[in-house]
Amino acid sequence: MNRRLPAEWEPQDGVLLAWPHADSDWRDNLAAVVPVFVRIAAAVSRFERLVIAAPEIGPVRELLQAAGIDMGRVALFPVATNDTWARDFGPITVLAQQGPVLLDFGFNAWGLKFAADLDNQVTGHLARLGAFGECARHIPGLILEGGSIESDGDGTLLTTASCLLSPNRNPHLDRRGIEAALAALLGASRLLWLENGFLAGDDTDAHIDTLARFCSETTIAYVRCDDPADEHHAALAAMEDELRAFRTREGRPYNLVPLPWPEACYGADGHRLPATYANFLLINGAVLVPTYGVPQDEAALAVIARIFPDREIVGVDCRPLIAQHGSLHCVTMQIPRGGLP
Catalytic residues: 330
State the Cα–Cα distance between residues 266 and 284, nearest whole angstrom: 33
| Listed residue (51, 60, 67) closest to 22, CA to CA | 60
DSSP 253: B
CA–CA gap between residue 27 and residue 36 (Å, rounded): 15
- The DSSP code sequence of 131-199 is TTTT-EEE--SSB--GGGEEE-SSSEEEEEHHHHT-TTT-TT--HHHHHHHHHHHH--SEEEEE-----
Going by C-alpha positions, the residue among 215, 216, 198, 195 that lies closest to residue 207 is: 198
What amino acid is encoded at 131 in this protein?
Answer: A
- b/e burial code for range 235-272 (CB count within 10 A of at least 16 → b): bbeebbebbeebebeeeeebeebebbbbeebeeeeeeb
**Residue in 118, 115, 172 with CA at minimum distance from that of residue 142:** 172
CB 21 within 8 A of CB 56: yes
201 with 268: CB under 8 angstroms?
no
Which stretches within 167-296 are classed as H helix? 175-186, 233-245
> What H or E segment, with its residue span, contains residue 32?
helix 30-45
The one-letter code for the residue type at 84 is: T
